Amino acid sequence: MADKKKKNLPPDVQEYQTFQQQREVKRPVLKNCLKAFFVGGFICFIGQLISTFYMYFFHFTEQTAGNPTVATLIFITMLLTGFGVYDRIGQFAGAGSAVPVTGFGNAVISSAIEHRTEGFILGVGTNMLKLAGPVIVYGVFSAFVVALIKTILVQWGGL
């Protein structure tokens, strides 16, 4: 796609883009993947500890322990975001802290904090899901599509 876009540009622009790409500092992808793997894994490990804690002390089952575990993780994220720590973890860990539920929590909470100065309705209310909104929209949409495919296969495909 990048090449296709490039073809329509004037030659001096194309030449400059090649020139600057040689000098651009690339994202250290392998290093980032490793960091993301370990930090993401660590967050999941904490999640597992919390989950086990709820099952052991509060008579939750493996199925029902999920909800309080997620709530606890998001609460911790809220504190870390509010105290200005989570964005530093995010810069270090990348996808490792963005993909787990804590990343979703951070997206909502950081937007809510950020827009507090514009008031609770038009500021916090309107902007809270500014970053997390797409996740919800496309999450619901893809669930709908998957459900549709499943229904068609089960009803008419005889699976």
Partner 1 sequence: MLQGHQTWVFANRPVIISTGTVGGPFEANGNIPKDFDILHDDMWLGQASFEKAQQTLMEEACQIALKKTSIEKEQVQFFMSGDLIYQITPTNFAAKTLGLPFFGLFNACATSMESLALAAMIINNKGANYILSGTASHNASAERQFRYPTEYGGQKPPTAQWTVTGAGCSLVAKQGTGPVITSATIGKVIDMGITDPFNMGAAMAPAAVDTIEKHLQDRNISPDYYDLIATGDLGHIGREISYDLLVDRGLSLDEERYVDCGLIIYREGQPVLAGASGSACSAVVTYGHLLNRMKAGELKRILIVATGALHSPMSIQQNDPIPCIAHAVSIEI
For residue 40, state whether it binds partner 1 (rule: CB under 8 A): no
Whole-angstrom distance, CA of residue 89 vs CA of residue 44: 15
For residue 58, state whether it binds partner 1 (rule: CB under 8 A): no
Q: State in angstroms the smallest separation of the CB of 70 from partner 1.
A: 18
CB contact burial 97-126 (16+ within 10 A = b; e otherwise): beebbbbbbbbbbbbbeebeeeeeeebbee
Task: Give backbone dihedrals phi and psi of 3, rounded to 5 degrees, phi first.
Answer: -65, -40
Cβ–Cβ under 8 Å, residues 100 and 85: no
Largest CA distance in the chain: 69
Binding partner 1 (rule: CB under 8 A), the pick from 46, 98, 101, 129 is 98
Pick the closest to residue 93 from 36, 33, 151, 21 (CA basis).
36
Q: State in angstroms the smallest separation of the CB of 103 from partner 1.
A: 7
Residue 115, token pair as written in the block: 């827009």
Binding partner 1 (rule: CB under 8 A), the pick from 3, 11, 30, 91 is 91
Binding mask 130-159 for partner 1 (x = CB under 8 A): -x----------------------------
Pick the closest to residue 72 from 35, 100, 99, 91 (CA basis).
100
Q: Where are the beta strands (DSSP E) in the chain?
A: none
For residue 26, state whether it binds partner 1 (rule: CB under 8 A): yes
Binding partner 1 (rule: CB under 8 A), the pick from 32, 52, 72, 126 is 32
Q: Which stretch binds partner 1 (CB under 8 A): 48-56, 67-75, 84-92, 146-154?
A: 84-92
For residue 111, state whether it binds partner 1 (rule: CB under 8 A): yes
Binding site for partner 1 (CB under 8 A): 9, 13-14, 16-17, 19-20, 23-28, 32, 81-82, 84, 86-91, 93-95, 97-98, 103, 106-107, 109-111, 113-115, 117, 131
